[in-house]
Amino acid sequence: MTSSSPFTANLWAEADRHLVRYGGGFTPEIIERAAGSFVFTAAGRRILDFTSGQMSAILGHSHPAIVATVQRQIADLDHLYSGMLSRPVVDLARRLAESLPTPLEKALLLTTGAESNEAAIRMAKLVTGKHEIVSFARSWHGMTQAAASATYSAGRKGYGPGAPGNFAIPVPNTYRPDFTAPDGFLDWPRQLDFAFDLIDAQSTGSLAACLVEPILSSGGIIEPPAGYFAALRAKCRERGMLLILDEAQTGLCRTGTWYAFERDGVVPDILTLSKTLGAGLPLAAVITSAEIEQEAHERGFLFFTTHVSDPLVAAVGNTVLDVLTKDKLDERARQLGVFLRRGLDDIAGRHEVVGDVRGRGLLAGLELVVDRETKRSSDELGARVTHRCLELGLHMNIVQLPGMGGVFRIAPPLTATEEELSLGLEILDQAIGDARAAL
């Protein structure tokens, strides 16, 4: 707790008494408001948000166009029976299809990433008539049943059996390679062959789909090498599997292109979007081909939810697309991504505890180690840097998984300025130095 005022102390007491804890500890600040790239605390502090909220607010906080849309739409039409349609819903489905390559043209509008992955998995199982799902060993796809069963980075222990037929394949991590070529670099074709040899050995012959992120975020900002997804798709095709790409965090200009899969020239059978689509509001989508949608419909696809096709958030989604297009935020993410990467590389040059800098566009990762040669990690170092950043006015998110160092996930809003990025880099630089000195 950073403030000892009676108001703040009482609020924390009420939080301790009444809130269910649903992950790690709460950030020791009470947030009063947010605007642009900053959040403001009850104690009067201004904190630079380098995570875009929950990796979602790509237009920053309280963007004027989003505010205007919510105010207008909620006065006219906010929520409907799930079987009713509205103009914002139809418009958003059409515009998403127009932003994507063929044959992706049919959309289902939902609320969260977990929900969209749940629907995608359900659709894949129904269409293929199979039930087995393959995902990366460092994946995060959500906390609902099928999505959680395909999530391997956290949350698997203590809840009993997951959905049957879920398999993990190794992550192609170029910084920490498990299969190496003679030059010492990651031999991802051999790794992928080995992975599917194991999948084939375990499968009952019911492989339905492979669900993966183009860049693993909760797995530590790991970007598979060029060519990997084309080879993965070929593995899927050989086995009659669908390829589902989860672009919750990478979609809609975050990486410098509208969709991260564009780099690889591989179009998924099913695409899921969330986080960035609502720019901080609960909006998600499942997008697939007319052929797959038709097959699912004929087989009785059912995915009723309370907030499917809600007009309020669909209107927000249309505004998000408006701003991304008008302000050319894909180009901006590429340019600012170069600026951010240069700054992170400079930090790496000054601090030996920075083992690796990676990512694409305005989704960057910085991995901390205590020994560059062995790549040995330290949970304490990552925690100290995170704490010191917050003290200095920068909110950072660190991923700490077994066998990896602490990896900072850096995802500022696409609307951030170079001055704001410079401020964040300056604070991070100081925090790393201070943390090293304290160890």
Would you please indicate which residues are annotated as catalytic (active-site) residues? 140, 213, 246, 249, 275, 409
Determine the distance from the C-alpha atom of residue 267 to the mean position of all C-alpha atoms in its chain, rounded to a whole number.
Answer: 19
CA 79/CA 286 separation, integer angstroms: 20
In total, the chain counts a number of residues equal to: 439
Stretch (H or E) spanning 137: none
Determine the distance from the C-alpha atom of residue 179 to the mean position of all C-alpha atoms in its chain, rounded to a whole number.
Answer: 26
Asked if 347 and 274 touch (Cβ cutoff 8 Å), the reply is no
Taking Cα atoms as reference points, which of 421, 427, 430 lies closest to residue 60? 421
User: How many C-beta atoms surround the C-beta of residue 229 within 10 A?
Assistant: 21
CA 385/CA 398 separation, integer angstroms: 9
Asked if 146 and 121 touch (Cβ cutoff 8 Å), the reply is yes
User: How many C-beta atoms surround the C-beta of residue 11 within 10 A?
Assistant: 15
CA 57/CA 223 separation, integer angstroms: 22
Asked if 215 and 411 touch (Cβ cutoff 8 Å), the reply is no
The DSSP code for 272 is E
CA 171/CA 151 separation, integer angstroms: 13
Asked if 173 and 186 touch (Cβ cutoff 8 Å), the reply is yes
DSSP codes of every residue in 25-40:
PPPSS-EEEEEBTEEE
Residue 112 corresponds to which tokens in the numbers above? 């969260």
Q: 363-398 burial, b if ≥16 CB within 10 A, otherwise e?
A: bbbbbbbbeeeebebbeebbebbbebbbebebbbbb
